[in-house]
Structure 1
Amino acid sequence: MVRISSVNVNGIRAAARKGMHPWLADAGVDILTLQEVRAPRSELEKALPGWTLVDDEATAKGRAGVAIASRREPTAVRTVFGPEDLDTKGRWIEADFTIDGEVVTVVSAYVFTGEAETPAKQDPKWAFLDAMNERLPQLASNSALAVVTGDLNVGHREFDIRNWKGNVKKSGFLPRERAYFDRYFGAHGTDVTGVDGTVGPGLGWVDVGRAFHGEIDGPYTWWSSRGKAFDNDVGWRIDYHMASPALAERVENYAVWRAPSWDTRWSDHAPVTVDYRLG
């Protein structure tokens, strides 16, 4: 069994200062994927002493940043992703781990937030989602056991956003964005009609959270700082474990750790933890 947890820490230094360590001490995590690290490698090492770390720092200082912390050495690490003119530094890292004789590929991904009707901010998001559309089949062909984790900044379905009607024209719930996820999670090799009416091939990946919980609201993984969104659980489910079919069959448990109160949170995102049966 391997326990993989993913969380957007909203700055590793701030998360460590606000209470990440007590959670981590109790969580029993084997592999921890991080997004929005927003710090150089030296600070990551200070925040996670004793862990084996691989990371990809963003081009812009203090922005983005992804990492994978583990209790074992990875056998391979890759950060090349997407076309050369797309700056994905700090947004995608892959690591292969050999666990009980089986190789599993773990990805930490941080998709651009985007902003509707602002091309300078939304166009990189489209390009990133296009790149995922190309990379996901490659991952599946290279590793039967693979999982893409992280803050993907899209609520796929109406179940994934409490106030979905008020967000259909905002980045994060645009029909075109959601259509990418229709195809990511669509049956492999079939033509999938997205929520925006476009048609494309299904890639066959599995949304572990939705598969585990079924057709229910949430459980949410991010809450706005405005008003009492957290207290009233007016959230978004934008943090995922996206598993290859073979790995999805190995899921034993899925959990979102929601802090007991607003003032005990150490990030605006909640960790998403999944137990996978390996070996």
Structure 2
Amino acid sequence: MLKIVSWNVNGLRACVRKGFLDFFHQADADIFCVQETKLQEGQIDLELEGYEQYWSYAEKKGYSGTAVFTKRKPNAVSYTMGEEIGEKEGRIITLEFDTFYLVNVYTPNAKRDLSRLAERLKWEDNIFDYLRKLDKEKPVIYCGDLNVAHQPVDLKNDKSNEGNSGYTKEERGKMTRLLEAGFIDTFRYLYPEKEDVYTWWSYMKTVRERNIGWRIDYFIISERLKSVLKDSQVHADVYGSDHCPILLNIDL
């Protein structure tokens, strides 16, 4: 059984001060993916015994960034999908293993005023082509903060958020296209009717306590892996970031 965790830590150094390592050791994942590390090389020294560490840093300081910590040594690691934003902002890491690809991403946010929506949609087209290309070679596990609530059940106030960043028809449409092209949203596949399950909450007072959230962090897998999918979990009880960790159990 393979256990994979994904967590947008919203600044890894801050998250470490808030208990990141406690959860990391308790989870004992085979592969642990993080997004929004917000640091440069040499700014943190994480002693993670038994894990290989792979980092992708943004050129801009204190911004974006991804990392993967893995007990299984990959055959190859890539930090690009041939797309400039991904490289300059440290938004993607792909690990190739014998039987699958793991793609960890931090999807660009369209911004509150939607000033980055066009750039975001270009990213979506590029990642779509990239995932389909990988999927032709071997199955894909795609995870991270995808910055979109796909369906009304995936956020608390769907009506009042229509057209807002992360819930535009364009962003949701790109997710629909991916799921119609041979991929499945593992959580929604296993729990189609489950409500009030979110992975991100605004820092506004009492919002998390009242569970006014969005589900924008995902494990998406090639459809042909669904027979080996065991569970997809959301750990909303784990604090330390404005996102919570998600977990995938898959028999690979």
Question: Distance in 1 between the 2:3 and 2:219 partners?
Answer: 12
Question: Distance in 2 between the 1:219 and 1:64 partners?
Answer: 25
Question: Distance in 1 between the 2:199 and 2:58 partners?
Answer: 23
Is contact 1:16-1:47 (8 Å) kept? Answer: no
> What value does the CA root-mean-square deviation take over the aligned residues?
1.8
Is contact 1:185-1:207 (8 Å) kept? Answer: yes
Do the aligned partners of residues 224 and 56 (structure 1) sit closer, same or farther apart at CA in structure 2, a change above 3 Å counting? same
Structure 1 SS opposite 2:100: strand
Amino acid aligned to 2:12: I
Are 2:249 and 1:271 aligned?
no
Q: How does 1:111-130 map to 2 (within 5 A)?
A: 111-115=107-111, 117-119=113-115, 121-130=116-125
Is contact 1:82-1:88 (8 Å) kept? Answer: no
Normalising by structure 1, we get a TM-score of: 0.85
Question: Distance in 1 between the 2:203 and 2:47 partners?
Answer: 24
Amino acid aligned to 1:204: G
Q: Deviation of residue 73 (structure 1)?
A: 1.5
1:227 aligned partner:
205
Question: Distance in 2 between the 1:32 and 1:11 partners?
Answer: 16
Q: Deviations over 1:25-73 (max 9, x none)?
A: 2112110011001112334542645521112111211110011101122
Are 2:220 and 1:254 aligned?
no
Is contact 1:116-1:122 (8 Å) kept? Answer: no
1:7 aligned partner:
7
2:26 aligned partner:
26
1:238 aligned partner:
216
Pick the aligned partner of 1:172 from 146, 156, 166.
166
Are 2:132 and 1:158 aligned?
no
Q: Deviations over 1:56-105 (max 9, x none)?
A: 1112111100111011221101122244477553111100124xxxx221
Pick the aligned partner of 1:109 from 105, 109, 119.
105
Question: Distance in 1 between the 2:43 and 2:191 partners?
Answer: 36
Structure 2 SS opposite 1:249: helix
Normalising by structure 2, we get a TM-score of: 0.93
Q: Deviation of residue 214 (structure 1)?
A: 1.3
Are 2:133 and 1:133 aligned?
no
Deviation larger for 218-227 or 27-36: 218-227
Amino acid aligned to 1:273: L
Amino acid aligned to 2:234: V
Identity of aligned residues (%): 31
Is contact 1:55-1:68 (8 Å) kept? Answer: yes
Deviation larger for 152-161 or 19-28: 19-28
Are 2:36 and 1:36 aligned?
yes
Q: Deviations over 1:225-263 (max 9, x none)?
A: 113111111110000001011223211112111226xxx
**Unaligned 5+ runs, structure 1:** 187-202
Question: Distance in 1 between the 2:24 and 2:179 partners?
Answer: 30
Is contact 1:32-1:70 (8 Å) kept? Answer: yes
Question: Distance in 2 between the 1:218 and 1:206 partners?
Answer: 20
Q: Deviation of residue 215 (structure 1)?
A: 2.1
Question: Distance in 1 between the 2:30 and 2:85 partners?
Answer: 35
